Amino acid sequence: MSAYILRRLWQMLPTLMGVVLLVFLLFNWVGGDPAYILAGKMSNPEQIANIRAQLGVDQPYWVQLWIFVKQIVTFDFGASWSTGEAVSHVLATRLGPSLTVLVPLTILETLIAIGLALGVAYVRGSLTDRMVMIACTVGMSVSILVYIIVFQYWLAYKLGLFPVQGWGDNFAENLFHYSALPILIGLVVSIAPDLRLFRTFFLDEINQDYVRTARAKGLSEPTILWVHVLRNAAIPVVTHVMSNLPALLIGAFLIERFFSIPGIGREIILAVERSDFPVIKAITVYVAAATMLFNLLTDLLYKAIDPRVQLE
Amino acid sequence: MNRPGRWLRRLPALCAALLALAAGPGQEARAADPDKVLHAVFVAPEAGFDPAITRDLYSAEVIQSIFETLYTYDYLARPVKLVPQTAEAMPEITDGGRTYTIRLKKGIYFQPDPAFGGKRRELTMADYVYSYQRLFDPRLASPHSWLFAGKVLGFDEAAAKAKQTGHFDYDAPIPGFELLDRYTLRIHLKQPDFNLGMILAHEPTSAVAREVVEKYRDAMGQVTANPVGTGAYRLGEWVRGSRIELVANPGYRGLTWNFQAGSDPEDAAIVAAMKGKRMPQIGRIDIRVMVEDQTRWLAFVGKQVDLVELQGPLAPKALENGKLRPELAAQGVQLSRIIDPEISYNYWNMQDPVVGGLTKEKIALRRAIAMAYDVQEEIAIVWNGEAVPLEYPIPPGIVGYDPDYRSSVHFDPRLANELLDKFGYRKGADGFRTLPDGQPLTITYSARADSNGKQQAEIWKKAYDSLGIRMKDNLMPFPDLLKAEKQCEVMSRNSPWIADYPDGDNFMQLFYGPNTHQNNNGCSRIPAYDVRYEASQKLPDGPERNRLYHEMARILEVYAPIRIGYARYRNMLAQPTVIGFKKHPILHCEWLYFDMVKEKK
């Protein structure tokens, strides 16, 4: 197992280097020159040249790339070009609000989708199954923007069930008061596709011989579904859930913008608008690394779920 | 709420308040009521609070609340009127506008800070000189160095030396900044300049203390997170990009509200409500960042926010023909509506081989296009009617504006087509015109890659189509657009400009030849214009300068390097609980000058 993990970690290096190179090239080709924004309204070529020198973007590309690599190795991405705030502080302070919304959302979304998918898989072909599938298709066809605008207007403003927006300095208040509506919207948007996907996983299992055997042995239907079927369908479910986890690091920028949540998603959009390369590259590298680590973790979970899986 | 946490965070504020009280006589009694809490909103996140490097409006609002400039603007006077802030009086201008002598009020103190080692720190003129020097520090790369560039004796030389060494020598004397004593500064200019007072009212020239900068500066010399000023407010809690709390500075000297009503009929009510009050009245300002229009609107109508600006699509929600909708008026909501001190104009690149140049046929081409463009249509479609067409390059409310001036350029597509026919821009079989020499005629219109930019491009396409001229749109990310513009690579664009200081010079310099690659975006060099601009710079506001401005405006119409467009309205809504609010065209925030009803506990 240790050898497998070490080998996989070692294999991540070339992938990460590819990401670094791609981010660097993309930013330098299409990322815009931040000096023109930072120089202000009344700038002249001399001032712009000075700002470029301060930022280091006047250096040859290979020097800039080397600095980027050193920043990754030392975990020090310097400071934001537009605000002067240390990038480490940006990540440390913006990640919390994003996770406050997205972690409960992911847990609830997964549990609810699994429960509903097992239910509709059990009654496959019935009116209930068809109605749920139609509802899912309709739900998936509506943009998240519409959900946000409608829910914010009706549930928060008109009915007063939730705050229209806001973020406090207390975790419980943020989780139960300010995050409630964003989580609800997230659930409405994400449950439908998950439910449809998980239903197909469960349908693949529900007609297997072992299910018939379990019924013949007299096991209750809930036991058959929640123990046997779920366990056998767990590998694709885990794959799907784990592949979504790195997205937690980039937040949900629309939800954060509308509900004034000071999260990482909003920060990324701002950084792109401002051509704030230190913030963009730090987040990109961390997300790439997280994706690879979660992939590794997924493979390890396969082994835990099904001991027959060989990690080679 | 985490009460103990909040109390701990407010401990320094309590200590500061006790320190200020302990300072005894000489300190003004605190007027601000902690139960008066203004809930304000920013449309975009702030960047930081260092006056020397601030680039965004929202940071500037906070900076203007914490720091003080020598001069500021009268709250009610329109056109705006410069008045002393920390200066004792208006500057003594001698030597034909070359020498300014300014005296500082005594007994103004910075808010207490560990940087001062527990001592009260009085504001002196040396702090202002230090703050001005910071604008030229190459490490800071301040976007505001233009405020003093080419003006003060010896200052540019000090900046050039700093550029060579990479280090600004703050201790080396600059001949142009002569400190007569702790409270008196004499500024020696290279040439006459009658706008320096306004420059000294611009928030990048606010006084910062050297000790504070040296204690808190980062690797680039910036102090974005520890603003320590002499102003009416100090920074309380700050969650970057989310929440900014400003708390009344207990050591602030205060002022008595004594502004005179102007011609605006609403002024009398403001004067009646506010006259004689000690300011500031509002004890705490709670600012939240709300990026989305719907969020701000719902927060305002839900009474979570006391003051909101109607940006983007919000104006039609609250206004009908420029007036507050009856349902909002019935609730007591107040509207403060001003024309922004800005112009939007379309320029054509005067260095471009197709549209540029001063030959007759090129002038005819630009004039024809200018006449084919319907400014009213852009105002109606792009700005929801929330703008006024302009006749003059200087907008209303700015010194030098002439309400009686009438431009010779008007929307007249028929005449525009006749002009093109006369100068040999013939239409081909495809219905599109060619250049007089038969070469193809295609004009590229550039704009920001956003919805407004797209709409503007569509309206311009309509104008070009009416003339039979091919137009290509080129929607670009803002940094790329700025870069291309500074390098004179944009053929045509609609460009906005908002006043840095309320004088016509700030607008007329936009078309001055030597400002090419800076902010003369059309890269025009019209000798007749440039010579008049140079003459106008040596004159104070008055008939002689206005005559030059008239001539310059006519030159812009004749040579048509630009087409003057419009100035947008700024609409601010205030809840009924806000007392005496009026939007000022130049001041970023007015929190010091209005009052509000106490928040119910």
Residues A258 and A285 in one domain: no
Residues A303 and A258 in one domain: no
**DSSP character for B314?**
G
* Percent above pLDDT 90 for chain B: 87
Residue at which a domain ends, from B194, B229, B264:
B229
**Segment A278-287 mean pLDDT:** 90
Residues B223 and B257 in one domain: no
B290 with A260: Cβ contact below 8 A: yes
What is the reported pLDDT for B228?
98
As a whole number of angstroms, the distance between CA B376 and CA B462 comes to 13
Indicate if the pLDDT at residue B14 is higher than 60: no
**Phi, psi for B37 (deg, rounded to 5):** -120, 120
Residues A167 and A238 in one domain: yes
Indicate if the pLDDT at residue B20 is higher than 50: no
Residue A214 sits in a domain of what CATH number? 1.10.3720
Is residue A271 included in any domain, yes or no? no
Cis omega (within 30 of 0) for bond into B280: yes
- B94 interface with A at CB cutoff 8 Å: no
Q: What is the pLDDT confidence band of residue A244, given thresholds at 50, 70 and 90? A: confident
Residues A98 and A58 in one domain: no
Is residue A268 included in any domain, yes or no? no
Indicate if the pLDDT at residue A88 is higher than 60: yes
Please give the single-letter amino acid code of residue B312. Answer: G
Is residue B15 included in any domain, yes or no? yes
Q: For CA atoms B128, B133, B137, B142, give the dihedral sign.
A: positive
Residues B333 and B348 in one domain: no
Q: Which domain holds residue B183?
A: 68-229
Contact B201, B71 (CB under 8 A): yes
As a whole number of angstroms, the distance between CA A248 and CA A101 comes to 9
**Segment B61-87 mean pLDDT:** 96
Q: What is the pLDDT confidence band of residue B13, given thresholds at 50, 70 and 90? A: very low
Placement of tokens 């002067």 in the chain: A84
Residues B269 and B392 in one domain: no
Please give the single-letter amino acid code of residue B479. Answer: P
Q: How far is CA B538 from the centre of its chain?
A: 23
As a whole number of angstroms, the distance between CA B243 and CA B239 comes to 5
What is the reported pLDDT for A306?
80
Indicate if the pLDDT at residue B466 is higher than 50: yes
Q: How many inter-chain contacts (A to B, CB under 8 Å) are there?
A: 146
As a whole number of angstroms, the distance between CA B375 and CA B143 comes to 32
Q: What is the pLDDT confidence band of residue B19, given thresholds at 50, 70 and 90? A: very low
Indicate if the pLDDT at residue B255 is higher than 50: yes
Residues B300 and B350 in one domain: no
Q: Looking at this predicted complex, what is its ipTM?
A: 0.86
Q: How far off is chain B from A211, nearest CA to CA, in Å?
A: 51
pLDDT tens figures, B362-383: 999 999 999 999 999 999 999 9
What is the reported pLDDT for A43?
83
Contacts of A170 in chain B (CB under 8 A): 1-2, 5
As a whole number of angstroms, the distance between CA A269 and CA A278 comes to 13
Residues B397 and B507 in one domain: yes
pLDDT, greater one: A273 or A145: A145
pLDDT tens figures, A116-153: 999 999 999 999 999 999 999 999 999 999 999 999 99
Is residue B426 included in any domain, yes or no? yes
**Segment A247-255 mean pLDDT:** 83
| 3-state DSSP assignment of residue B315 | helix
Indicate if the pLDDT at residue B11 is higher than 90: no
Residues B355 and B490 in one domain: yes
- CB-based contacts of B124: which residues, under 8 Å, 6+ apart? B104, B182, B183
Residues B95 and B77 in one domain: yes
Residues A247 and A281 in one domain: no
A93 with B218: Cβ contact below 8 A: no
As a whole number of angstroms, the distance between CA B213 and CA B110 comes to 13
Contact B383, B568 (CB under 8 A): yes
| 3-state DSSP assignment of residue A87 | helix
A167 with B290: Cβ contact below 8 A: no
As a whole number of angstroms, the distance between CA B111 and CA A147 comes to 47
Indicate if the pLDDT at residue A216 is higher than 90: yes
Q: How far off is chain B from A254, nearest CA to CA, in Å?
A: 9
A262 with B2: Cβ contact below 8 A: no
Is residue A158 included in any domain, yes or no? yes
As a whole number of angstroms, the distance between CA A204 and CA A213 comes to 16
Nearest alpha-carbon partner for B481 in B443, B446, B520, B517: B446
As a whole number of angstroms, the distance between CA B69 and CA B85 comes to 7
Closest residue, chain B, to A97 (C-alpha): B242
Mean pLDDT of the residues in chain B: 92
- B224 interface with A at CB cutoff 8 Å: yes
- CB-based contacts of B206: which residues, under 8 Å, 6+ apart? B51, B63, B64, B67, B68, B69, B131, B229
What is the reported pLDDT for A158?
95
Nearest alpha-carbon partner for B193 in B509, B404, B529, B452: B509
Is residue A293 included in any domain, yes or no? yes
Residues A137 and A167 in one domain: yes
Partner A, chain B 149-178, Cβ-Cβ below 8 Å? 163
Q: What is the pLDDT confidence band of residue B230, given thresholds at 50, 70 and 90? A: very high
Q: How many domains does chain A divide into?
A: 2
Residues B350 and B392 in one domain: yes
Q: How many domains does chain B divide into?
A: 3
B518 with A42: Cβ contact below 8 A: yes
Residues B125 and B149 in one domain: yes
Residue at which a domain ends, from B179, B201, B229:
B229
As a whole number of angstroms, the distance between CA A64 and CA B317 comes to 49
- B521 interface with A at CB cutoff 8 Å: no
Is residue A267 included in any domain, yes or no? no
As a whole number of angstroms, the distance between CA A65 and CA A102 comes to 33
Q: What's the token pair of residue B419?
A: 């002009």
- CB-based contacts of B332: which residues, under 8 Å, 6+ apart? B575, B576
**Segment B252-260 mean pLDDT:** 96
Residue at which a domain ends, from A262, A284, A303:
A262
Residues B112 and B145 in one domain: yes
Residues A120 and A239 in one domain: yes
- CB-based contacts of B152: which residues, under 8 Å, 6+ apart? B132, B174, B176, B177, B187, B188, B189, B190
Contact B358, B524 (CB under 8 A): no
Closest residue, chain B, to A41 (C-alpha): B519
Indicate if the pLDDT at residue A67 is higher than 80: yes
Is residue B264 included in any domain, yes or no? yes
pLDDT tens figures, A14-29: 999 999 999 888 888 7
Is residue A270 included in any domain, yes or no? no
Cis omega (within 30 of 0) for bond into B79: yes
Please name every residue paired with B245 in a beta bridge, in sequence order, or none if there are none: B286
Residues A66 and A98 in one domain: no
Strands B470-476 and B442-448: parallel
Interface probe with A: pick from B9, B151, B292, B512, most Cβ of A within 10 Å: B292
pLDDT tens figures, A253-263: 899 999 999 99
Residues A99 and A221 in one domain: yes
Q: What's the token pair of residue B478?
A: 């803002």
Contacts of B48 in chain A (CB under 8 A): 83-85
Residues B430 and B551 in one domain: yes
Residues A123 and A14 in one domain: no
Residues A247 and A188 in one domain: yes
Is residue A87 included in any domain, yes or no? no
**Most confident region among A264-278, A287-301, B40-54 by mean pLDDT:** B40-54
Residue B238 sits in a domain of what CATH number? 3.40.190.10
Is residue B240 included in any domain, yes or no? yes
Q: What's the token pair of residue A197?
A: 């996907």
pTM reported for the whole predicted model:
0.87
- A98 interface with B at CB cutoff 8 Å: no
Q: What's the token pair of residue A58?
A: 């006047």
Is residue A174 included in any domain, yes or no? yes
Residues B431 and B411 in one domain: yes
pLDDT, greater one: B489 or A47: B489
Q: What is the pLDDT confidence band of residue B358, given thresholds at 50, 70 and 90? A: very high
**Segment B260-283 mean pLDDT:** 94
pLDDT, greater one: B322 or A275: B322
* H/E element, A300: helix A277-305
Residues A59 and A98 in one domain: no
Q: How far off is chain A from B156, nearest CA to CA, in Å?
A: 13
Is residue B40 included in any domain, yes or no? yes
Residue B408 sits in a domain of what CATH number? 3.10.105.10
Is residue B542 included in any domain, yes or no? yes
Contacts of B291 in chain A (CB under 8 A): 257, 260, 266
Indicate if the pLDDT at residue B197 is higher than 50: yes
B295 with A267: Cβ contact below 8 A: no
What is the reported pLDDT for B204?
96
Q: What is the pLDDT confidence band of residue A243, given thresholds at 50, 70 and 90? A: confident
What is the reported pLDDT for B601?
58
What ranges in B423-509 are assigned the alpha helix state H? 451-467, 478-486, 505-508
Q: What's the token pair of residue B286?
A: 């709670």
Residue at which a domain ends, from B229, B250, B269:
B229
Is residue B59 included in any domain, yes or no? no
As a whole number of angstroms, the distance between CA A48 and CA A33 comes to 10
- A271 interface with B at CB cutoff 8 Å: no
A37 with B299: Cβ contact below 8 A: no
* H/E element, B562: strand B562-574
- B510 interface with A at CB cutoff 8 Å: no
Q: Which domain holds residue A215?
A: 93-262
Interface probe with A: pick from B50, B167, B298, B308, most Cβ of A within 10 Å: B298
Indicate if the pLDDT at residue B489 is higher than 50: yes
- A157 interface with B at CB cutoff 8 Å: yes
